[in-house]
Structure 1
């Protein structure tokens, strides 16, 4: 992807909230580090954007629409000016679609020159804020490119280098997440911490009939988990020999293992659905729980 002559762009959604400001600075730093451009998007939702609540949400007339468009344009201009002060050599473009925020960002994610989409974990007030991280969850479930979600408060601003913490479980989604994590670690010269969580098998098979002796052998279960993780990391290690990798097999639930390992300055990378996920779910319980529980940026890779 980095070898193509086509310029790639990092897309970031802004709405004036604290978390979107952190998302803006983080995405600009990533774009500058990797030689990419930055697309800043703020969406001006249509009158029926409230969905099922549209009948009880007060609507204004043309004046309110004009005010919203004017405010959105002012926000875009301020965001662009702010970023160019921090990164004067960065290519920056802006977008102001009339659409729901998630729809607008998904449209940008589907463009062939988009490499990633970045959003804050929670926007400004209104009914939508009752659904914590609703835009990030919807994007992570449907975006064809990695989605990075930043919390309301975030330590790693411009110039701060953290580790890359990736969940590993041998699934196809996990393999793509590991590929993304290695690329990030290579570009930012960060250490990669691969976390492979395992749990005693006896707890899962006891209700299914006689329990084989090996189900009680934690050492055997851990060894299997480590072999799975090593196999998943092997190819990426060959492609990125300069990336320092620390593989940690942890006896814990995957969410607990990943969140315990990560600090607010780290980028956490997870797949949309792990080995144990239901195929009908677009976003698994582990990735959702990590998104809600992390204190730093989280990248979700399909």
Structure 2
């Protein structure tokens, strides 16, 4: 890597919280595995300069803004030095933004050469405006690259080899999630576990009046789930023949099925919005529930 223009990046948001530290560690290892650079981003949201409350929020001498920016820059310098000490072989860049954390990360994730964005699920609520849960939802819903969200604590011990758990539902974003999962499995030499969850139709059918008897045939629904799995896995299996794959059609809610299958060391991969999702929603209900309920990293793929 001779110049930063040639580097492809993993973006990570930090704010000094435990979850952002785990995100930093995870993203650095991801960059190492994939031969990418790491760009560390934090944000200091300046007070409003316009509007009815500007006179109360803005200090005309800017004396309060300099210490916050200095503190944030110190955090970036510490994070950069820490990662370079662990992974001296990767390119590390830092960025201090003066805007909303969500806007700062979305801007960074939308730039050319970015492969993925990583964020902790909960921030401190203080320094650098804290990359809190709502920012993770916004980023996962709008970023043009896969977004990985890490909880406050997860198994990040060196040497722990997690599986890649992926939700399959037959949707376009679900298919891209499967492809991402296989690529991760190939890079990490990890098993891919594909889950297609189905639920009995009787409960839904009873609310819409008379229905044909086949609606109550759970075996037909299970068979359809298996067909969905086989169709979704066929292409990635051919592309990554060395990846070990286990496929399950599971009777149950997809969120429950995914969370019960995954350990804290596993990466869960889901599409941002599956079948039946409403276009106006910021993020699909399954992906959002998995993101908030998981004990390990979750990748949301658009």
TM-score scaled by length of structure 2: 0.92
* Structure 2 residue aligned with 1:63: 63
Which residue does 2:272 correspond to in 1?
272
Counterparts of residues 66-77 of structure 1 (less than 5 Å): 66-77=66-77
What does residue 189 of structure 1 align with? 189
| Structure 1, unpaired ranges of 5+ | none
Q: Deviations over 1:226-285 (max 9, x none)?
A: 101110110010000011111011100011000001111000000111112112223111
Query: What residue number does 2:263 align with?
Result: 263
Q: State how far apart, in whole Å, the 1-side matches of 2:269 and 2:38 are.
A: 21
Q: Given that residues 101 and 131 in structure 2 are in contact (C-alpha distance below 8 angstroms), is that contact kept between their aligned partners in structure 1?
A: no
Q: Relative to structure 1, is the Cα distance of residues 277 and 157 closer, same or farther in structure 2, using a 3 angstrom cutoff? A: same
Name the structure 1 match of 2:103: 103
Deviations 1:20-71 (A, max 9, x none): 000000000010011110001111112139x999679865552210001100
Q: Which moved more, 1:60-69 or 1:121-130?
A: 121-130
Deviation for aligned residue 1:86 = 0.6
For residues 52 and 181 of structure 1, the distance between their equivalents in structure 2, rounded to whole angstroms, comes to 46
**1:290 match:** 290
In the alignment, is the contact (CA less than 8 A) between 1:202 and 1:211 conserved in 2? no
What SS does the aligned partner of 1:11 have?
Answer: strand
Matched pairs, number:
297
CA distance in 2, matches of 1:104, 1:7: 20
Counterpart of 2:15?
15
State the distance in 2 between where 1:108 and 1:29 align: 19
Is the Cα contact below 8 Å between 1:26 and 1:157 reproduced in 2? Answer: no
How far did residue 117 of structure 1 move? 0.3
Partner of 1:119: 119
Mapped to 1, the partners of 2:35 and 2:159 lie a distance apart of: 16
> 5+ residue gaps in structure 2?
none
* Offset of residue 129 of structure 1: 9.1
Partner SS state of residue 115, structure 2: strand
Considering only aligned residues, what root-mean-square deviation do their CA atoms show, in Å? 2.5
2:179 equivalent in structure 1: 179
Q: Which moved more, 1:207-216 or 1:263-272?
A: 207-216
Q: Corresponding residue for 2:301? A: 301
Q: Which residue of 2 aligns with 1:208?
A: 208
The answer to whether structure 1 residue 27 and structure 2 residue 27 are counterparts is yes
